[in-house]
Amino acid sequence: MLPWHQYIFGLLFILAGVNHFRTPHIYERIMPPYLPSKKLLNQLSGIAEMVLGLMVLNPETQNLAAWFIIVLLVLFIPVHIYMLQEKKAALKMPKWALIIRIPLQFGLMYWAYQYAI
C-alpha cells in the first residue's frame, strides 16, 4: 500500500492532465510565443501528466514516473516566467500568486523526488 500523500500527488497530476482537455485555451494562452504548435504541446503535456500521475501510483513504475515528473516540471518553468512577464498570459492572477508559482514548482519537484528514491 502506498502512503496517502502519494495518492494525492498522483491524483493531482491526473486531474491537471484532464484539465488540459477541459480548458485547452487557458494552457495555450500561457505558452510563450516561441513555442510551436501550442495545441499539440497542450495535448501532449496533458497526456503526459495523466500517464505520469497513474504511473506514480504503481510501485513498479513510480521511480520512473517521479523522474519524468521532475523533468516535466522543469520544462514548465518558462511558462511560469512568461506568465509573470506578460499580462495577457497572467490570466488576471495577482502578481504575488504568479511569483509563488515558481518556487511551488520546486516544491512539487521535491515531492516527486520522494517517490524516486
- Domain assignment of residue 40, given as a range: 4-112
Report pLDDT digits (tens) over 6-37: 999 999 999 999 999 999 999 999 999 999 99
- This prediction has a pTM of 0.93
Kindly calculate the radius of gyration of the chain based on its CA atoms and give it in whole angstroms: 14
pLDDT at position 73: 98
- pLDDT greater than 90 at residue 117: no
Nearest Cα to Cα of residue 48 among 82, 26, 77, 75:
75
Instruction: State the Cα–Cα distance between residues 1 and 4, nearest whole angstrom.
Output: 9
Domains in the chain: how many in total?
Answer: 1
pLDDT at position 105: 97
Instruction: State the Cα–Cα distance between residues 91 and 32, nearest whole angstrom.
Output: 14
Report pLDDT digits (tens) over 44-61: 999 999 999 999 999 999
Question: For residue 55, with 0-12 CB atoms within 10 Å meaning exposed, 13-18 middle and 19 or more buried, which class applies?
Answer: buried
Whether residue 78 is contained in a domain is answered as yes
- The answer to whether 56 touches 13, Cβ cutoff 8 Å, is yes
Q: What's the whole-number average pLDDT of the chain?
A: 97
Instruction: State the Cα–Cα distance between residues 65 and 116, nearest whole angstrom.
Output: 8
- The answer to whether 31 touches 6, Cβ cutoff 8 Å, is no
Region for 92 from its dihedrals, namely left if φ exceeds 0, alpha if ψ lies in -120 to 50, beta otherwise = left
Whether residue 117 is contained in a domain is answered as no
